[in-house]
Structure 1
Amino acid sequence: MRRSFAPWSDPAAKPLIRFENVTKRFGDAVAVDHLSLNIYESEFFCLLGPSGCGKTTLMRMLAGFEHPSEGRITLADRDLAGVPPYRRPVNMMFQSYALFPHMSVERNIAFGLKQDGLPKAEIAARVDEMLRLVQLERLAKRSPSQLSGGQRQRVALARALAKKPKVLLLDEPLGALDKKLREETQFELMDIQHDLGMTFVVVTHDQEEAMTMADRIAVMDHGRIVQVATPGEIYEQPKTRFIAEFVGDVNIIEGNVLGQENGHWRVRSRSAQPPLTIDDPDEVLHSDQAVAIAVRPEKMVIQRDPPGTDAVNVLTGEVWDIGYLGDWTVYRVKLASGEILRVTRANRSRYVESPIDWDEQVYVTFAPDAAVILAE
Structure 2
Amino acid sequence: MTEARTEARTEARKRDSLAIGAVRRDFAPWLDPHAKPLIRFDQVTKRFGDFVAVDNLTLHIYEREFFCLLGPSGCGKTTLMRMLAGFEEPTQGKIVLGDQVVSGIPPHRRPVNMMFQSYALFPHMNVEKNIAFGLVQDGLPKQEIADRVAEILRLVQLTPFARRKPDQLSGGQRQRVALARALVKRPKVLLLDEPLGALDKKLREETQFELMDLQVNLGMTFLVVTHDQEEAMTMADRIAVMDRGTIRQIAPPGQVYEQPASRYVAEFIGDVNIIEGRIAASDAGRLRIARTDGEGELAIEAPPGVATQTGQEIAVALRPEKLVLHREPPAGAQNLLSGEIWDIGYLGDWTIYLVKLASGQIVRVSRANASRFVEQPLTWDDKVHITFAPEAGVLLTQ
**Contact kept in structure 2, 1:280 and 1:371, CA below 8 Å:** no
**Contact kept in structure 2, 1:272 and 1:314, CA below 8 Å:** no
Could you tell me how far apart the structure 2 residues matched to 1:247 and 1:335 are? 24
Residues 1:28 and 2:18 aligned together: no
Residues 1:123 and 2:164 aligned together: no
Equivalent runs, 1:58-69 vs 2, <5 Å: 58-69=80-91
Q: How many residues were matched structurally?
A: 375
Give 1:69's aligned amino acid: T
Could you tell me how far apart the structure 1 residues matched to 2:148 and 2:285 are? 61
Could you tell me how far apart the structure 2 residues matched to 1:58 and 1:273 are? 46
Give 2:71's aligned amino acid: G
Which residue in the other structure is 1:362 paired with?
Answer: 384
**Contact kept in structure 2, 1:300 and 1:366, CA below 8 Å:** yes
Give me the identity figure in percent.
Answer: 69
User: Deviations for 1:302-332, whole angstroms, at most 9, x for unmatched residues?
Assistant: 1102111x21110000000011111111000
Select the residue among 267, 289, 292 that pairs with 2:315: 292
Select the residue among 109, 112, 116 that pairs with 1:94: 116
Residues 1:152 and 2:174 aligned together: yes
**Contact kept in structure 1, 2:289 and 2:297, CA below 8 Å:** yes
**Contact kept in structure 2, 1:20 and 1:72, CA below 8 Å:** yes
Which residue in the other structure is 1:72 paired with?
Answer: 94
Which residue in the other structure is 1:111 paired with?
Answer: 133
Select the residue among 324, 348, 353 that pairs with 1:301: 324
Select the residue among 317, 332, 341 that pairs with 2:339: 317
Question: How far did residue 284 of structure 1 move?
Answer: 1.5
Give 1:284's aligned amino acid: A
User: Deviations for 1:58-85, whole angstroms, at most 9, x for unmatched residues?
Assistant: 0000000000000000000111011110
User: Deviations for 1:204-234, whole angstroms, at most 9, x for unmatched residues?
Assistant: 0000000000000000000001100000000
Could you tell me how far apart the structure 2 residues matched to 1:305 and 1:267 are? 23
- CA RMSD across the alignment: 0.8
Question: How far did residue 270 of structure 1 move?
Answer: 4.1
TM-score, normalised relative to structure 2 = 0.93
Question: How far did residue 3 of structure 1 move?
Answer: 1.5
Question: How far did residue 271 of structure 1 move?
Answer: 4.8
- SS of 2:196's equivalent? coil
**Contact kept in structure 2, 1:94 and 1:173, CA below 8 Å:** yes
**Contact kept in structure 2, 1:270 and 1:337, CA below 8 Å:** no
Give 1:286's aligned amino acid: Q
Which residue in the other structure is 1:334 paired with?
Answer: 356
Question: How far did residue 244 of structure 1 move?
Answer: 0.2
Give 1:10's aligned amino acid: D
- SS of 1:364's equivalent? strand
Equivalent runs, 1:33-52 vs 2, <5 Å: 33-52=55-74
Question: How far did residue 22 of structure 1 move?
Answer: 0.2
**Contact kept in structure 2, 1:271 and 1:339, CA below 8 Å:** no
- SS of 1:305's equivalent? coil
Question: How far did residue 250 of structure 1 move?
Answer: 0.3
Which structure's residues are more often helix, by fraction? 2
Give 2:311's aligned amino acid: D
Question: How far did residue 288 of structure 1 move?
Answer: 1.4
Where structure 1 has 5 or more consecutive residues not aligned to the other structure, the ranges are none
Could you tell me how far apart the structure 2 residues matched to 1:203 and 1:259 are? 43
Where structure 2 has 5 or more consecutive residues not aligned to the other structure, the ranges are 1-21
